[in-house]
């Protein structure tokens, strides 16, 4: 499809923003329903430069790193009750005396984008999962290297991009773009179609995106719902590695009862497994035998 017929959706974000995490079901639905009619481009915003100098008045977050961890855990738990994505607040420790910023996660994403652009979406997703649902301190370089390795990034080149300043410079370029649009909160979405563009601030539902896309493209783009079948759900999990229940419900327009029926259907229930995480978990494809992944050079069961 030519670029002229592709809508570009710039997602101004931060890897550890809870409402960006909560937007994952909607963004995945856009990808599935619109396919290559839409290109989603994450733009790193850097939510917290230094938690010690940061203060979120609405949620009373900021100041001492250890105190901020408890404040953020409470906020994420409240947000999870609304957006439905899993969070782990037991042992939550995003900040410490040595780790006071979310900039390392943003810069790490840009490093992967420079090294392996095709792996950047998987890496961003793993950072979100690790931060929100696994309570890992993703601001630590050691953790970021582990996550990059998990998704198949060449860690030697990844570290080089972190050390030579190129990833940080790419992050600063993203920050400049966000500054031009005065996007002070995340998520914020910039939709571009031909010469027109439209800015949406804050969390958006799929219905809201649909209405804006139809208006901006003058009905040129139309989403197509996937079939509510075990085969379609299985293919989705193969494509996206894993998904929370709310993501499956959102993408396939299923009620919780309908999803439960699909997940336990004879054609699916022995092919997938549930991985508990925080106050929820993820569904993923079950490997029937040992599987060797050439991207990461590892065999697993």
Q: For 80-112, write each residue's pLDDT tens digit.
A: 999 999 999 999 989 999 999 999 999 999 999
Query: What per-residue confidence (pLDDT) applies to 115?
Result: 98
Query: What per-residue confidence (pLDDT) applies to 230?
Result: 96
* Contact in structure between 83 and 113 (CB atoms under 8 Å): no
What are the structural domain ranges in the chain? 3-180, 230-300
In the chain, beta strands by DSSP E: 7-13, 38-44, 55-56, 61-62, 188-193, 196-201, 242-243, 272-277, 280-285, 291-293, 298-300
Q: How confident is the model over 3-22, as a mean pLDDT?
A: 92
Q: Report the topology of domain 230-300.
A: Arc Repressor Mutant, subunit A (1.10.10)
Measured CA to CA, the distance from residue 242 to residue 274 in angstroms comes to 9
β-pairing, 38-44 vs 7-13, is parallel
Query: What per-residue confidence (pLDDT) applies to 290?
Result: 53
* Contact in structure between 91 and 135 (CB atoms under 8 Å): yes
pLDDT one-digit tens code per residue, 147-191: 999 999 999 999 999 999 999 999 999 999 999 999 989 999 999
CATH number for the domain running over 3-180: 3.40.30.10
pTM: 0.93
Q: At what angle do helices 230-240 and 245-252 cross, to 10 degrees?
A: 120
* Those residues with Cβ within 8 angstroms of residue 91's Cβ, 6 or more apart along the chain or in another chain: 135
Q: Look at 295 and 62; give whichever has higher pLDDT.
A: 62
| Token representation of residue 88 | 């782990």
DSSP character at residue 134: S
Residue 280 clears pLDDT 60, i.e. is over it: yes
Q: What percent of the chain has pLDDT over 70?
A: 94
Residue 2 clears pLDDT 90, i.e. is over it: no
Q: Look at 183 and 55; give whichever has higher pLDDT.
A: 183
- Assign 269 a pLDDT band (cuts: 50, 70, 90): confident
Burial (0-12, 13-18, 19+ Cβ within 10 Å), 292:
exposed
pLDDT one-digit tens code per residue, 108-118: 999 999 999 99
Query: What per-residue confidence (pLDDT) applies to 184?
Result: 86
* Those residues with Cβ within 8 angstroms of residue 118's Cβ, 6 or more apart along the chain or in another chain: none
Residue 299 clears pLDDT 70, i.e. is over it: no
Query: What per-residue confidence (pLDDT) applies to 60?
Result: 82
Q: Look at 280 and 288; give whichever has higher pLDDT.
A: 280
């Amino acid at each position: 499809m030519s670029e002229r017929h592709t809508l570009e959706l710039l997602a101004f974000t931060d890897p550890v923003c809870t409402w960006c995490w909560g937007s994952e079901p909607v963004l995945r639905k856009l990808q599935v329903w619109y396919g290559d009619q839409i290109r989603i481009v994450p733009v790193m915003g850097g939510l917290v430069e230094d938690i010690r100098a940061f203060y979120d008045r609405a949620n009373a977050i900021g100041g001492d790193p250890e105190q901020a961890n408890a404040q953020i855990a409470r906020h994420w738990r409240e947000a999870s009750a609304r957006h439905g994505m899993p969070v782990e607040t037991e042992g939550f420790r995003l900040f410490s005396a040595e780790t006071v910023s979310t900039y390392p996660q943003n810069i790490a994403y840009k490093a992967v984008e420079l090294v392996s652009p095709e792996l950047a979406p998987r890496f961003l997703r793993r950072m979100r999962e690790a931060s929100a649902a696994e309570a890992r301190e993703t601001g630590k370089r050691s953790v970021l290297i582990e996550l990059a390795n998990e998704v198949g990034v060449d860690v030697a080149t990844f570290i080089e991009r972190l050390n030579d300043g190129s990833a940080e410079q790419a992050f600063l370029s993203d920050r400049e773009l966000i500054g031009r649009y005065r996007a002070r909160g995340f998520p914020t979405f910039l939709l571009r179609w031909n010469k027109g563009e439209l800015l949406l601030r804050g969390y958006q539902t799929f219905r809201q995106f649909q209405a804006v896309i139809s208006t901006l493209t003058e009905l040129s783009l139309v989403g197509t719902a996937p079939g509510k079948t075990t085969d379609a759900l299985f293919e989705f999990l193969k494509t996206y590695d894993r998904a929370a229940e709310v993501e499956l419900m959102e993408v396939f327009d299923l009620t919780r009862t309908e999803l439960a029926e699909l997940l336990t259907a004879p054609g699916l229930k022995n092919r997938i497994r549930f991985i508990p995480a925080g106050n929820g978990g993820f569904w993923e494809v079950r490997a029937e035998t040992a599987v060797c992944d050439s991207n990461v050079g590892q065999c697993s069961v």
